[in-house]
Structure 1
Amino acid sequence: MKSNTAAFFAETYGSDMPRITFISSPNRDARGSIIPDVIAQAKPKDFTVRRLLRQAEREGAELFFAPVPMSGEGMPSEAQAKDAAVIWADVDQDFTDEQWALIERLDATVNESGGVGRHHVFVPLDVPHPPHVIKELNQALRVALDGDAKQNPASFLRVPGSFNRKGEPVLCRTVRLSSSRQTLPSVRQALRTDASSASEYQRASVAVEDAVSAAETFRKYAGKTAPGLGGMSPRRLLDKANGRFAEGNYDGRHKLASGLTKDLLRIGLSQGEALGVLLECDAATDKWTPAQIAADVARVYSKEVPHQPDGGAESRGLSTSAGVSAEPGVTSADDGGDDVLTDAEDDMESAVSRMMAELLDSSAMDTQEDPEPLIDSWLFVDTVARIVGPPGSMKSFIAIDMSAHVGMGMPWRGNDVKKGPVIYLLAEGSKGAKKRKQAWEKHHRRRMENVLFLGRAIQVLGDEWDVFVEVCKRVKPVLVVLDTQSRITAGSDENSNDSTAFNRVDDIRKVTGACVFVVHHPPKDGKGGRGGSVWIGGLDTELWVEKKGKVATGDCIVTLENEKQKDEADGLKLQFSPKVIDLGVDEKGKRRTSVVLVNPDVGAIAASELSTIERVFRAIRDAQVPPTATEISKAVGIKNVRNYLGDLEKAGKIEAVGSPKRYKPA
Structure 2
Amino acid sequence: MAHIPREDIEAILHEYAAQVRAERHLQARGIAARIIPRSGLALLPEPRPLIEGTIDQHSVVLLAGPWGSGKSFIALDWGARISTGLAWQTRPIQETGTVLYVAAEGAYGLKRRIDAWEYAWRTKLTDDGFMILTRPVNLLSPGEVAELCEQVREHGIAHVIVDTLARCLVGGDENSARDMGMAVDALYEIREATGDGGTVLAIHHTGKDRQTIRGSSALEAGVDTVYQTEGDGRLIQLKRTKRKDGPVDDLVRLSLNPVADSVVVASQNGVGISRSEDTVVSLLHSHFSNLEAPTTRTLMDVSGMPQSSFYRVLNGLVTKGTVVFEKDGRSTRVRLAEDADTRP
Judge same fold: TM > 0.5, yes or no. yes
User: Which position in structure 2 is the counterpart of 1:467?
Assistant: 147
Q: 1:402 aligns with which of 64, 75, 78?
A: 78
Aligned to 2:56: 380
Query: Per the alignment, in what secondary structure is the counterpart of residue 146 of structure 2?
Result: helix
1:659–1:444 Cα change, 3 Å: closer
Q: The residue matched to 2:177 in structure 1 has which SS?
A: coil
Matched letter for residue 214 of structure 2? R
Q: Report the Cα distance in structure 2 between the residues aligned to 1:348 and 1:416, rounded to whole angstroms.
A: 45
Counterpart of 1:546 in structure 2 is 230
Aligned equivalents of 2:137 and 2:28: distance in 1? 39
Shift of 1:541: 0.6
Taking the aligned partners of 2:24 and 2:170, their CA distance within structure 1 comes to 40
Quick one: which of 432, 441, 445 aligns to 2:109?
Answer: 432
The equivalent residue for 1:57 is none
Written as runs of structure 1 = structure 2, the 5 A alignment for 1:89-488 is 358-417=34-93, 418-449=95-126, 450-462=129-141, 463-488=143-168
CA displacement at 1:543 relative to structure 2: 0.5
Distance in 2 between residues matched to 1:534 and 1:444, nearest whole Å = 38
- Find the aligned partners of 1:577 and 1:409 in 2 and give their Cα distance: 21
Change (3 A) 1:659 1:354: closer
Matched residues in 1 for 2:100 and 2:199: separation?
11
| TM-score (ref. length: structure 2) | 0.67
Moved more, 537-546 or 506-515: 506-515
| Paired position in structure 1 for 2:249 | 571
**CA distance, structure 1, for counterparts of residue 42 and residue 101 of structure 2:** 35
Name the SS for the 1:431 alignment partner: coil
Which secondary structure does the structure 2 equivalent of 1:430 belong to? coil
**Letter in structure 2 aligned against 1:561:** K
The aligned counterpart of 1:78 is: none
Change (3 A) 1:533 1:344: closer
Runs of 4 or more off by more than 6 Å in structure 1?
A: 342-354, 656-663
Shift of 1:568: 1.6
| 2:265 partner letter | L
Match for 1:457: what amino acid?
A: P
Match of 1:524 among 208, 214, 219: 208
Q: 1:500 aligns with which of 168, 175, 182?
A: 182
CA pair 512-602 structure 1, distance change in 2 beyond 3 A: same
Distance verdict in 2 for CA 1:530–1:653, change over 3 Å = farther
How far residue 419 of structure 1 moved from its aligned partner, in angstroms, is: 0.5
Deviation per residue, 1:497-540 (Å, 9 max, x gap)? 00222222322112223211001100111424210011111100
Q: Distance in 2 between matches of 1:596 and 1:343?
A: 55
Question: For residues 565 and 576 of structure 1, what CA distance do their matches in structure 2 show?
Answer: 21
Separation of aligned partners in 2, 1:542 and 1:476: 26
**Which aligned pairs between 1:39-50 and structure 2 lie closer than 5 A?**
none
SS for the counterpart of 2:157 is coil
Query: Given residue 51 of structure 2, which amino acid in structure 1 is its aligned partner?
Result: I
What's the offset of the Cα at 1:560?
1.1
Q: Tell me, in whole angstroms, the C-alpha distance in 2 between the residues paired with 1:659 and 1:503.
A: 42
CA distance in 1, matches of 2:258, 2:28: 61
Amino acid at match of 1:364: G
> Which residue pairs with 2:193 in the alignment?
511
Report how far residue 461 of structure 1 moved: 2.9
CA 1:603–1:470: 2 relative to 1, 3 Å: closer
What amino acid maps onto 1:454 in structure 2?
Answer: L
RMSD of Structure 2 on Structure 1 (CA):
3.5
Q: Aligned partners of 1:374, 1:468: CA distance in 2, in Å? A: 22
Structure 2, unaligned runs of 5 or more: 1-17, 274-315, 326-335
Residues 610-625 of structure 1 mapped to structure 2, 5 A cutoff: none
Q: Distance in 1 between matches of 2:23 and 2:106?
A: 50
> Taking structure 1 as reference, are residues 361 and 524 closer, same or farther at Cα in structure 2, changes over 3 Å only?
same
Structure number with the bigger relative contact order (C-alpha 8 A, sep ≥ 6) is 2
Contact (CA 8 Å) 1:381, 1:478: kept in 2 or not?
Answer: no
Q: Secondary structure at the match of 1:406?
A: helix
Contact 2:321 2:337 in 1 (8 A): no
Aligned residue pair count: 263
- Assess if the C-alpha contact under 8 Å between 2:159 and 2:194 holds in 1: no
Partner secondary structure for residue 460 of structure 1: coil
TM-score normalized with structure 1 length: 0.36
* Aligned residue identity for 2:66: P
Partner of 1:594: 262
**% same residue:** 28
Amino acid at match of 1:520: H
Give the 3 Å change call, closer, same or farther, for CA 452–351 of structure 1 in structure 2: closer
Structure number with the higher strand fraction is: 2
